[in-house]
Structure 1
Amino acid sequence: MANRLKAAALAVYHTTYEPALALVLGPRRISGFECAAAGGPPEVAIHPHRVAGCGPACGFDQGERRRVVARYSLKTRGDGALDRALGRAARRLSLTPMAIDLDRFPSHTDFQALVKRRSSRTLPKIRKAAKMGYVAERFSVHAHVYDIHAVRTSMRSRAAGPVLDYWFLKPEDVAKPAGRPATWRMPKCPRHWTLWWGVFLPEPGHVQGKVQVDRRLVAYMKLMRIGDVLHYTDLMGHGEHLGHGVMNLLHDAIIRWLIESDEPLVEGVRVVLYGAAEHGGEGLLTWKKRAGFEPMRLILAPAPDGKTDAPLSRDRRAG
């Protein structure tokens, strides 16, 4: 019953409150970006669906991924007068995704150049965090349940608002703790997966339950790949470490991985999505801007054969 009530409340929120939020707040939130003077957010076609190579273990059909696509993308419409009018209305009443188009950045150095233009302090924060011993890498959520709980309950309020987890979250609500040393596992589908990235500090003797891990997780991010879109979700840093640039370090490490790695897990990823311009306060929007995100319209591209499946987007590392 509780899950049904939660689902119903979220449905009302997404179908009524968010359109009003987009209509009232959207134009003001994008006014500080370059695209405001160019006629509005750029449009990028996305291909989130299953392809022939996904296989039977592909996770796209899980409801969470479909909900992300429905929430942040617009459908392709025809060229008729009615279609154009409906398209304009849909844009005004839809959230404005905050995203990074990786096709704009042939190298990680090019991406950092954009970050430097937007903020002179971000890259020094990243270098400082690295010098302090912080390291960003993938991990198993089951191996650091208690650290994640400590991160999520370290502050009563954050940029997006009050943190209910501060009062109600229990370690067992995060995930099932590992009973022995655990590492992250390779997803079954390279095109639709969920992985966790975290920031760690060496700490000999540090334990998670009864398992000695010798390092402390101080920030984390859950990444969800949906075709050529990578969605940032459930990201948070411990209050005692946020001032050390751990979130900037984590974000930069992930972007470097996406641009430079030859792993099949990242091949074809084009768009990095982190919520909408209308979400949170001005502080969160400023962080996104300094991190390289910009307002964007994600257009759900139809498959060439008319089915729901679509080919991988062009690999930006190819010639």
Structure 2
Amino acid sequence: MNAIAFLMRIYYGVLDPILVRRRKSARLHLWGGTPASMTLDLEAGRASGSGSAQALTRMRRVAQRYDMHALGRGATPMMLDLQACGDAKGLEQQLRGLSSRNMTKIRRAGRMGYRVRPFALANHVHDVHAIKTSMAVRSGGPVLARWLLRPEHIGRQTEELQPWKPPACDTHWTIWWGVFIDTPGHRNGNLQTPERLVAYTKLARAGELVHYLDLMGHRDFLADGVMLLMHSHIAQWLLDADTPPARGARAIWYGALEHGGEGLLTWKRRAGFAPVQVRLTE
């Protein structure tokens, strides 16, 4: 276990529960209204193939830190209800209603040349490292990665371009999604990658629940709206359900109501996330 993993274990085991208890009532009052109820099935019986058991086990483990049984204990999960959106047009309508600038930002980012797609982590280990270490402080506080993270903690950088491969299981998987921009001459270690990864998410799925397990953008590109662009693309991919790994997802989960500062809370609201009372079944 590296130093960051050790410190994060202490944080989630000791400090996070204290912060959640202190913030819960005030944040719920600030948000207004009663959180909607939702029952989501992790569909454990459908997990099969490489990586599926890990995806299911990790979802169970992370969910233990949250109130996933509607008991009022633990952090309040924030989710985008995909069923409420209905389809891609419904998502766009919802985003417009939440902020008049949402679609303007998304379209502007597209015109600037940013592209969103899944990627093989091995091709962009150094880009992910650059993103993680681009800020000393984020919405959750000081970023330990700024000083302690090394590229090898993230993964092994390949020297030959690796193709992206779809997951072996349609309902239990981990897919890295990213925002890219053309950057001639750009390199990840010894690998020349003519496009640069400027934002990413480690997207995890177990049954009906999809989770932004890790969501981050490089400081130099955040103002271009790359995070909202990526979020809208992923949500649309799930709603369109054109490929088997996208079918049957009912909600996207991103952190807790009690996590982060006012800026992150505002971003979540504008992106369609809301606090929910969840019951997880299997």
Map 1:228-239; keep pairs closer than 5 Å. Answer: 228-239=208-219
Structure 1 residue 64 displacement after superposition: 2.3
Larger radius of gyration: 1
Contact 2:49 2:168 in 1 (8 A): no
What TM-score do you get using the length of structure 1 for normalisation?
0.81
Contact 1:65 1:226 in 2 (8 A): yes
Give the structure 1 partner of residue 26 of structure 2: 28
Contact 1:72 1:298 in 2 (8 A): no
Contact 1:142 1:176 in 2 (8 A): yes
Contact 1:48 1:69 in 2 (8 A): no
CA distance in 2, matches of 1:56, 1:130: 35
SS in 1 for 2:244: coil
> Match for 1:183 among 156, 160, 163?
163
Question: CA offsets, 1:4-46, max 9 Å, x none?
Answer: 9558625632xxx44443333112213344xx33xx2111001
Alignment of 1:217 with 2:197, yes or no, is: yes
Question: CA offsets, 1:200-253, max 9 Å, x none?
Answer: 011222222222221011111110102111110221111111111011111111
Give the structure 2 partner of residue 12 of structure 1: 13
Letter in 2 for 1:219: A
Map 1:34-183; keep pairs closer than 5 Å. Answer: 36-37=32-33, 40-51=34-45, 53-55=46-48, 57=50, 58-60=52-54, 63-75=57-69, 90-91=71-72, 93-183=73-163
What TM-score do you get using the length of structure 2 for normalisation?
0.91
CA distance in 1, matches of 2:8, 2:108: 42
Runs of 4+ in structure 1 deviating by more than 6 angstroms, as ranges, are 1-4
Contact 2:77 2:254 in 1 (8 A): yes
Gaps of 5+ in 1: 76-86, 302-309, 311-319
Question: RMSD value over aligned CA atoms?
Answer: 2.2
In 2 relative to 1, CA 60–8 (structure 1 residues): closer, same or farther, beyond 3 Å?
closer
SS in 2 for 1:130: helix
How many residues in Structure 1 have an aligned counterpart in Structure 2?
Answer: 280
CA distance in 2, matches of 1:94, 1:153: 29
Contact 1:201 1:215 in 2 (8 A): yes
Give the structure 2 partner of residue 82 of structure 1: none
Question: CA offsets, 1:115-144, max 9 Å, x none?
Answer: 222211221111111110000111011100
